[in-house]
Amino acid sequence: MAVTRGYITPVKYGDVLIFSLTTSIALYLLRVGDILQPDAQSTLRSIFGSSELPGENPATTDSTTVFEKIFQFLPREVKHLLTMLSERVKELPRHHLCKHEGSCIHYVSEGFLSKFSLGYAIQTALNLFRTMPRITRRPSAVARSLVDRENVYLGLFMGGLVGAFRVIMCLLRWFRNQDSPVHIAIAGFLAGLSNFTYRSTTIVLFFASRVIENLVYFGQKRGYLPTIPGGDRILYTLSTSTILHAAVFEPHQIRPAYWQFLLRVTGNYFSQLNRKLVDVLGTNASNLYPNFWPEYDLRYASPQMQSEELYRWWIDSIYI
């Protein structure tokens, strides 16, 4: 809405830049102190691993859980080959400042493969869920869901995010021969560029809002920011009123997925509003439904509306 009115000029790949900045800020804040809320800390550790982030024993990281579960279903010969390869890679060099187990190459490849597998599995499950109503009519939709390119894109995003973060952290230690919280900010920013492979405004805005929420909460706890009584309710009320106002006067400005959600919640009534009547306000309200005009019961219509309906009936009788 702000872009349409000219208040904000869109920046090319601005969503990727926002994700990179918020990833860098979140990881840096977690490294330097107890600033983020516990749920945010545990989420970041589960994604990136605990060896780079304080607060947990690196040996307890569960970054390979998904990959190990998939590993169990592989043929015996393949498992034997991969196990030998993994042991060889583990024996490669590791910087003395690195806290992870095994070599740096093993640490990076482990993070990439585990998160790639997780991302691929998540997107596959979503695709299968969407195709469930069509399975009986089109069984081939199942096969397409398993090999959909979106599965690879989400896998590359999650695997690239963790893999790039780990490789940059190890490279900085090797080249600078020191460890620093600045390293984690640099690695977080560069790793966030993996969002290029799976650009999702929903993911970006959710992650950015969570980081801002944690900063506001920390500022209020330390007394840097005022605590407004009922502030969360006020924010929710303003957000809801903005969305519902846009749903009536500018539905084309709402994200398609959220617009479909509003239609399901309201029993499709939002699409049955006569937005032609408010087009005079200049919001292009009827953009999504340019030809929709409801059938009015003229017994309950104003004289002006009755004359309008009679005029439309006369025009339709001429051209139909």
Are the C-beta atoms of residues 231 and 240 closer than 8 Å to each other?
Answer: no
Q: Is residue 63 a contact partner of residue 49, using CB atoms and an 8 Å limit?
A: yes
Cβ neighbors of 143 (< 8 A, separation 6 or more) are none
Q: Is 53 left (phi over 0), alpha (psi -120 to 50) or beta?
A: beta
- Tokens 């106002």, located at residue: 245
pLDDT the model gives residue 62: 44
Question: What is the predicted pLDDT for the residue at 79?
Answer: 67
pLDDT score recorded for residue 61:
42
Q: Are 125 and 167 in contact (CB under 8 A)?
A: no
Distance, in Å, from the CA atom of 277 to the CA atom of 297, rounded to the nearest integer, reads: 17
End-to-end Cα distance, the chain? 38
User: How far is 27 from 176, CA to CA, in rounded Å?
Assistant: 20
pTM over 0.75: yes
- The answer to whether the beta carbons of residues 241 and 58 sit under 8 Å apart is no
Distance CA 304, CA 74 (A): 74
Ranges of H-type helices in the chain:
14-32, 38-48, 65-71, 76-90, 104-131, 140-146, 149-176, 181-192, 201-222, 231-249, 256-265, 303-319
Nearest by Cα to 192 from 162, 171, 153, 215: 162
- What CA–CA distance (Å, rounded) separates 48 from 98? 15
Contact predicate 41/55, CB 8 Å: yes
10-residue mean pLDDT profile of the chain (320 residues): values are 77 91 93 84 88 60 53 68 77 87 89 90 87 75 82 93 94 92 94 92 90 89 87 91 91 88 88 84 86 76 68 51
User: How many Cα atoms within 13 Å fall on the side-chain side of residue 63?
Assistant: 30
